[in-house]
Structure 1
Amino acid sequence: MSSASEPAEVATEPEEPITKRGTFSSLKVRNYRLFAGGQVVSNTGTWMQRIAQDWLVLSLTGSSAAVGITTALQFLPMLLFGLYGGVIADRYAKRTLLLITQATMGLLGLALAVLTLSGTVEVWHVYLIAFLLGLATVVDNPTRQAFVVEMVGPQDVRNAVSLNAANFQTARIIGPAVAGVLIAAVGSGWAFALNGVSFIAPLTALMLMRESELHRIPRVPREKGQLREGLRYVAGRPDLIWPIVLVGFIGTFGYNFPIWLTAYVDDVYHAGAGTYGLLNTLMAAGSLLGALLAARRGTTRMRMLVGCALIFGVLEAAAALSPAFWLFAALLVPIGLFGLTFNTTANSSVQLATDPAMRGRVMSLFLMVFMGGTPIGAPIVGWVTDTYGARVGFLSGGLVSVGAAVVVGLVLARIGNLRVKVDLHRGKGHPLIAFVPREKLTAAA
């Protein structure tokens, strides 16, 4: 495990072949099997609520900007308090914290269900519950991320992170499809109700875990300056700070799909909730494929991180300019694949490069810039989409992602004293384009 004194890993590109693991190797661990089973149920409910929530807000207001405000409010607490969530995750038992946060999110889902089914729901109710969900997420997300290592150990972190993503994307396929049927048949309220009930599964899984089989990480005692300590730690590590910067830009401007997809369905294709669910399902299918492919990788590389971000942005721009519905829908699959590969690569790279005592704080910063940027990006993207149309809104997100990938890639190459090498006579297992140390190119010349 890296420490603050070790050299940054951006300096070189490893030349050894990528090792592969079994796609489902983490599921051999009993505690992780319980965790994964509970999460797939609650994640399905969460996606049902997300689709129903976006459609409810659009139905109440007729505004893409209002959908953006809802999204922003849900992620605003992460921007304001995200780093404190990491401090809490490092100080207290993670399993106990997760029992509290998961129960809270289930109760909030049930509250929104009661308001909707009773016919008294107003848009400010949705705003308030979105904000309260965000507060629970401040503690839940960094705790859940750091808890992965305690369940599976460092040797299976990459695999477990990828399987978590596959779990989430499986739910993303099922959830929108079920939500679309429920909204059309009986309204949004029952989707919220099922989401609230779904949290029984992860709560049961957490209670059934064997504490003796967890990989214990010593808790950090309460001291002053722990927040500043975490920030200084990341600031001194180029292999942490620049991936986090890239994640921040793409999370803020490139992941605003609730805004774009509702606008495309409503304004461009003049369709209903079923089409919205279909588009989300197609993107989720690509994301699931990306997660399963990532689960087989034993290592991660910076060039993969930057490359996936670049391709992701290019595909978004292509989808924005697509002249036909079938082409737009088809492009959502590779968008999901490369977006998910980027996310899991960044997540596992940052976790493995971080000292265990710092992991909660570092992951809270990672999640703060990825999710906490949404309150900034979502209203801007929502306004652009309302003012200039869905195509311009989607295109702007893609172009920002491309620009961020290019800039961060150049910075990482400069820090690592690397240059681009093009090998037209590459053999099997060797890339056409690679970053190599400048000295190697000089020697070759």
Structure 2
Amino acid sequence: MNSDEGDLRVLFKNTQYLWLYVSNLAFFFAMQSQIVMRSWLAFKLTDSEFALGLVAFSTALPMFFLSPFGGMMSDRIDRRNLILYGQCAAFMADLVVVVLILTDNIQFWHLLFSSGVNGCIFPLIMPARTAIVVNIVGKQRLEKAMALNMGGMNTARVIGPAMAGFLIDLIGIRYAYLFGASLLGLGVVSMFPINRSNPVALANQLPPLKSIWEGALFIKDNRLVMVLLLFGLIPMFLAAPFQNLLVVFAEKVWNVGPRGFGLLSSAMGMGGILGAIWIAFLKSSHRRLFRMMVCVILFCVLLFCFSFSPWFWGGLIMVFCANVFVNMFQTFNNTNIQLLIPDSVRGRVSSFLMMSFSLPLLGTLPISAVAELYGAPIALGMSAILAIIIAVVFYWISSNLRNMDKLVLVARGKE
């Protein structure tokens, strides 16, 4: 048995990690299915591409500004309880939306409000969700654990959106949304068996704002961490918002309806699963930067091809392949960041990583505005080209990024 297979066996025998994995799966299952259903509802209520951008923006704005506070809380209080209580709040918020839909009182502003509530909750629990993985499995098995987590998240991206799309077509949005909300309850229950994670003592001694500032200073003083955060942010801001425009391609470009929408969402998630499995069984290599550059460029090229595909089935293949590589890029980038930071500031640095996750949603607003004026294919295709150019320029001008492999190797050697 090689070391990679041994790491996977050890992870699956760790019951604490398994419960966390189930909770992650249920939580992201719910989140991904709700993205599909919110997009569908918004488009049906308004028939506007720009409305899709507004829904995404209402989630992204609080996510961006509250992320540092989530990281501070992750380093100051029990990470397990923070995740548990946050998921309870998200569950209650979704139940309100379900009632509005069941009583035929749902309006567009309700979607904006519920998206904003989720945008507030999500950044407060995600840094803890990321940081607690290291507490449970340790740094030596972190890359495999994160790859499995990404695989679980993308499994949710397959089943959740696919089921949402087909359920909308077969039984309507009411019960589809109820199905998604119920998964948040499963995520809550799955957190109970996980042991409490003690906060970092030093972080508890600092005032909240100073604690956040300490995390920002760590990033400022550790240039490679800052570079990786930015490098993961810029292409994602330009290219990743395509998920929110899938309903436009399904309804206006290819005229395939809710089933086609579900298939597109499923293909996207299945590509992510393949990317995560690929990493989980990929042999360790010191050529981390090479892998990241290949993945981000292939993602953007495939996304460009998807944008201008005249055939639905061709677009389906392109979105599948694109998500193989974007998932690999994100996993490589996030793992490198986690390897470079100490546990004393892990939650706070993870919160800045969470801020970068909000950028694709923020990017949806300008891209959807361009899509409304010139069409979704033009908007998405041009964004993909611009993302490639910026990624290459970023590599060219950043010596820290070009020396990443050596610096990560040194960080791993300290463990």
The aligned counterpart of 2:382 is 396
Shift of residue 133 of structure 1? 0.4
- For residues 230 and 111 of structure 1, the distance between their equivalents in structure 2, rounded to whole angstroms, comes to 36
Shift of residue 172 of structure 1? 1.2
The aligned counterpart of 2:204 is 221
1:406 aligns with 2:397: no
Q: Name stretches of at least 5 consecutive residues in structure 2 with no aligned partner.
A: 407-415
The aligned counterpart of 1:283 is 268
TM-score (norm 1): 0.85
Shift of residue 384 of structure 1? 0.8
Instruction: Return closer, same or farther for 1:185/1:222 CA change in 2, 3 Å cut-off.
Output: farther
Residue pair 1:150, 1:217 contacting (<8 A) in 2 also? no
- For residues 238 and 19 of structure 1, the distance between their equivalents in structure 2, rounded to whole angstroms, comes to 31
Where in structure 2 are the equivalents of 1:305-316 lying within 5 Å? 305-316=292-303
The aligned counterpart of 2:339 is 352
Residue pair 1:153, 1:215 contacting (<8 A) in 2 also? no
The aligned counterpart of 1:84 is 69
- For residues 341 and 271 of structure 2, the distance between their equivalents in structure 1, rounded to whole angstroms, comes to 29
Residue pair 1:284, 1:333 contacting (<8 A) in 2 also? yes
1:176 aligns with 2:161: yes
Where in structure 2 are the equivalents of 1:178-197 lying within 5 Å? 178-197=163-182
- For residues 343 and 27 of structure 1, the distance between their equivalents in structure 2, rounded to whole angstroms, comes to 23
| Aligned partner of 2:310 among 312, 320, 323 | 323
1:381 aligns with 2:367: yes
Shift of residue 374 of structure 1? 2.5
Counterpart of 2:320, as a letter, is: V
Shift of residue 121 of structure 1? 0.3
Shift of residue 251 of structure 1? 2.5
The root-mean-square deviation of aligned C-alpha atoms, in Å, is 2.3
TM-score (norm 2): 0.91
Based on CA coordinates, which of the two structures has the bigger radius of gyration? 1
Residue pair 2:17, 2:136 contacting (<8 A) in 1 also? yes
Shift of residue 303 of structure 1? 2.4
The aligned counterpart of 1:44 is 29
Q: Which moved more, 1:382-391 or 1:73-82?
A: 73-82
Instruction: Return closer, same or farther for 1:356/1:259 CA change in 2, 3 Å cut-off.
Output: same
Shift of residue 382 of structure 1? 0.3
Where in structure 2 are the equivalents of 1:244-323 lying within 5 Å? 244-297=229-282, 298=284, 301-323=288-310
Shift of residue 79 of structure 1? 1.5
Instruction: Return closer, same or farther for 1:366/1:299 CA change in 2, 3 Å cut-off.
Output: farther
User: Larger % of helix: which?
Assistant: 2
Percent same amino acid among aligned pairs? 24
Shift of residue 302 of structure 1? 2.2
Counterpart of 2:392, as a letter, is: V
The aligned counterpart of 2:322 is 335
Q: Name stretches of at least 5 consecutive residues in structure 1 with no aligned partner.
A: 1-17, 419-433, 437-445
Instruction: Return closer, same or farther for 1:216/1:90 CA change in 2, 3 Å cut-off.
Output: closer
Residue pair 2:76, 2:200 contacting (<8 A) in 1 also? no
| Aligned partner of 1:141 among 111, 121, 126 | 126
Residue pair 1:242, 1:408 contacting (<8 A) in 2 also? no
- For residues 71 and 198 of structure 1, the distance between their equivalents in structure 2, rounded to whole angstroms, comes to 21
| Aligned partner of 1:117 among 99, 102, 107 | 102
Instruction: Return closer, same or farther for 1:153/1:131 CA change in 2, 3 Å cut-off.
Output: same
Q: Which moved more, 1:321-330 or 1:82-91?
A: 321-330
- For residues 363 and 194 of structure 1, the distance between their equivalents in structure 2, rounded to whole angstroms, comes to 30
Residue pair 2:150, 2:276 contacting (<8 A) in 1 also? yes
Q: Spell out, residue by residue over 1:375-409, the C-alpha distance to the aligned partner (whole angstroms, 9 max, x if none).
A: 2x111000111111111111122113212220222
How many residues are aligned here? 401
